[in-house]
Structure 1
């Protein structure tokens, strides 16, 4: 299989015409509609599927649109329209602060590659129920008008779009219901959706491959051992009997958090109940995981808007930055992510808003591995050019961030920052395939794999977006409590995960995670890949002509 994939790569994505989605058969409580994309991978049909799946009667008051579950579906234009007729279906759980749209790149690459061998794969990316609170009106309208002002006017200026005004970011009573959207409800949502879409349990077991990216691997680990009726004697409902295998994208499929070489011990059972009660109180006070800056609904939407600006006008200069509101959250976020050193962060001088840069360069500064300080937000998208740069020592100097004390949480790439803040110096972006050996000592051609254009469109084009505004704190609390009563009541098959084959793909610059412990796990490290590259890499990222390795490995795994 590997040889066939390698020999066919040169023919991929050439001369393929776009196809529109055929309407799905009408089914009560289910809708499916196509959406457009500027991706060069045009042989793949992309749709958004929504199912009516009400929350339980005990749920706190919530909007009616939150009684639905949604996912993005990608399938080959040359394949069957019915999912049950596909050869295999990969079902992915997103990571923390990540929505279904994050998988757009890897899904298209994988489905298109498989189709070249006559293999009809589908890729489903699940969206957490909490994303029903998001308002994408401005972004959707700006994609239609081609004008960034449509979006920024809506989100920042109170402008009306399609008869609607932005109501602000949900908080307080509007998010109270999320305190119940923890591990149990998240896994139940996946189980219910899979049963509705593929009612025959034998079909699910034969055709579904379940996995995820980042946090999605841990969710899958719990899903594998979950017993949905609470009766361990009946196993048709067990998570490991809903899938035929597991796949992990820069994550690990297991129960319990940890880093490579550092296992977080389980809470002793005798105090687990008390710890869980304390976490429930914390969750009531903080149902959404948010910080005063960097990580909160406004800043996650800011990443989507940065992608939108780069998608609409790649060479436009400071289009988004010049329109950003002047508030403490945005100001502190820019200073945290873009300051070259501690002095710049503390004083706000030079001000990141005074840098002259193209929209692509701004997006690169926010998410590229040579600039973004946090490893779980890094992609290898190229390098900044157009002006002088210097070492970026904030929030940590490279010697610490890339050393043992950094625990791998800051990525493996040296950090650099522009040093000239002048209207006469316009910083631009070299895309992944424009980086050469002489570009900078901080990078090399072999470590750049994601197109900045691919990242931009993935951030803004899918109707279920890349960034997650409202991540339920309950999930974060639950994942650390393997011995909590609410977990042990359903996690009744801890070794169920070991009964199925597993593929673990790890980026060399990704999050350093422990082994799954499964005897059926095949673990592969991908050179040059950072955390986000596992879902965003360009289909032609291998300069030696071999296929993009994430999609190639997934195709190979799916056809075993």
Structure 2
């Protein structure tokens, strides 16, 4: 359905729209819609695209439950992590809503999209055709009369210099107030939470004073929530819990240099963002930037529509410095191969599923924040992947992950396929091993379906990734003690004002510093993204634990 909250005449922009989302998810009984609400930015932000005056989220509910959110038993509202969009929550949302429905409870799950995601152009992905997507983004082909204008640069998005911590938590407050106007109902039914950085944003939201008068509390963030949930994160107001042993500003999730250092203080940092001296969104020359986030979506589309077909992406995508350097980082056996550039990923025969696995599986992807446990390469000989960190060296779980890395070793050889998570340990599994004889993986270490990961990356109208993550959001979090920010966090008791459930991926970014004081549910074998993508039925036949425990927590 499409609805307007203000009764706008035909042709006028509706204050609120809600549109059905068609899905190939195997989880039954779930209705998904994409909701868009017009909540304009203040004039002080400066010039920006008109579409950025709207906030959007994916709404998941039981098909047998009430159609009105206010009538649901509970509503889980989730903030995404760094470089992450609403689509990343697809599996955990469906699994959780379904688990509740099986017990007669009707809950909703709202996956929020940050305002900056309005800058993305998903037109090519939304065609459902890999060839059309590549044609749209790289060959000048039009889709429905529209042409791709190119990936944005920092100097094109000056208004992002004003989109930081205050804007982010206020957007959540304004959206909740618009969708659920009764504060008493919000306090009774809304559960606030998030993944990764989203847990910290939830903590800040809980302490924030939204009316400028600390003596009143009905407007405070904690008064909008009945409880909190943390997905491989903690509900906190700073990055300390995510930092672990790495001690980096960004919590060890990203390579050094991705986030500008903030030692010069709030005034200088803000001046740098406004002038353009500092980048307005997070990006590196390779691996982490808008084009590569989009390539992940294209890879997901290819793996969703033709998982077992030989991939042509290696040849279809252009050979520019960004894509080539990223491919070498992701698919080099060792430093010598990376430096020489031979062999490249283009020299191997891989299925579409294997390409996606190379980019995002925990036994291949070099960076922890994009790792999932979706299986392993198959169909040919595998060897140790000793770049960027050797398998003989114990790196930082927060940055490189915990698992041994593997890579195909036969360029121009057999077609390397992908063994999905639920086929690891099967009778036909050859059990690929590291040089020391240790299996690269076991069934106990695999929890997510690569087909569902591909679907979440490419099927959702709101993206899995976040192409233009505002730098100011992270620099503000590193400066929360500055009076200009701290004065808004007037309710520190809000962090503990409501019950909390904390989930920690046993092999994720918190693996070497599990926050025992939070009494977390530790999930063995899970990686950082697995808390979002885990299959509803796990190896061995057990139900996925987050869905079962989170739905029970929400409804008790």
| Same fold (TM > 0.5) | yes
1:307 maps to which of 292, 300, 305: 300
1:128-158 deviation line (CA, Å, top 9, x unaligned): 11111111111111x1xxx321111000100
DSSP-derived class of the 1:390 partner:
strand
CA distance in 1, matches of 2:447, 2:174: 36
CA distance in 1, matches of 2:5, 2:212: 34
- In the alignment, structure 1 residue 114 sits paired with structure 2 residue 100: yes
CA distance in 2, matches of 1:255, 1:263: 19
CA distance in 2, matches of 1:517, 1:507: 13
Residue number in structure 1 paired with 2:545 = 549
- In the alignment, structure 1 residue 357 sits paired with structure 2 residue 350: yes
Q: What pairs with 1:502-513 in structure 2 (closer than 5 Å)?
A: 502-512=500-510
Deviates more, 1:351-360 or 1:430-439: 430-439
- In the alignment, structure 1 residue 559 sits paired with structure 2 residue 519: no
1:168 maps to which of 141, 147, 150: 150
Residue number in structure 1 paired with 2:431 = 439
- CA shift for structure 1 position 169: 0.8
1:180-231 deviation line (CA, Å, top 9, x unaligned): 1100000000000000000000100110110001110111111110001221
1:193 maps to which of 153, 175, 187: 175
Q: What pairs with 1:143-182 in structure 2 (closer than 5 Å)?
A: 143=128, 147-182=129-164
DSSP-derived class of the 2:525 partner:
strand
Q: Report the number of matched residues.
A: 523
Residue number in structure 2 paired with 1:451 = 449
- CA shift for structure 1 position 411: 1.4
CA distance in 2, matches of 1:262, 1:418: 32
Task: Decide whether the 8 Å contact of 1:447 with 1:527 is kept in 2.
Answer: yes
- In the alignment, structure 1 residue 209 sits paired with structure 2 residue 195: no
- CA distance 1:273–1:490, shift in 2 (3 Å): farther
Structure 2 gap ranges (5+)? 8-14, 250-261, 433-438
- CA shift for structure 1 position 413: 1.0
Residue number in structure 2 paired with 1:133 = 119
Task: Decide whether the 8 Å contact of 2:503 with 2:520 is kept in 1.
Answer: yes
Residue number in structure 2 paired with 1:100 = 86
Residue number in structure 2 paired with 1:275 = 265
Residue number in structure 2 paired with 1:34 = 20
What is the root-mean-square deviation of aligned Cα atoms in Å?
A: 1.9
CA distance in 1, matches of 2:398, 2:292: 24
- CA shift for structure 1 position 553: 1.1
- CA shift for structure 1 position 366: 0.4
Residue number in structure 2 paired with 1:6 = none
Structure 1 gap ranges (5+)? 1-21, 267-271
1:80-134 deviation line (CA, Å, top 9, x unaligned): 0000000001000001110000000000111111111110010001101111111
- In the alignment, structure 1 residue 525 sits paired with structure 2 residue 522: yes
CA distance in 2, matches of 1:59, 1:33: 29
Residue number in structure 1 paired with 2:258 = none
CA distance in 2, matches of 1:343, 1:117: 56
- CA distance 1:278–1:93, shift in 2 (3 Å): same
1:475-503 deviation line (CA, Å, top 9, x unaligned): 11011112112211201111211111101
CA distance in 1, matches of 2:85, 2:390: 31
Moved over 6 A (4+): 263-266, 515-518
Task: Decide whether the 8 Å contact of 2:244 with 2:398 is kept in 1.
Answer: no
Deviates more, 1:384-393 or 1:23-32: 23-32
- CA shift for structure 1 position 383: 0.8
Task: Decide whether the 8 Å contact of 1:249 with 1:534 is kept in 2.
Answer: yes
DSSP-derived class of the 1:161 partner:
coil
1:375 maps to which of 351, 368, 371: 368
CA distance in 1, matches of 2:246, 2:362: 26
TM-score by length of 2: 0.91
- CA distance 1:487–1:273, shift in 2 (3 Å): farther
TM-score by length of 1: 0.90
1:145-183 deviation line (CA, Å, top 9, x unaligned): xx3211110001000110011000112442111011100
- CA distance 1:501–1:542, shift in 2 (3 Å): farther
DSSP-derived class of the 1:246 partner:
strand
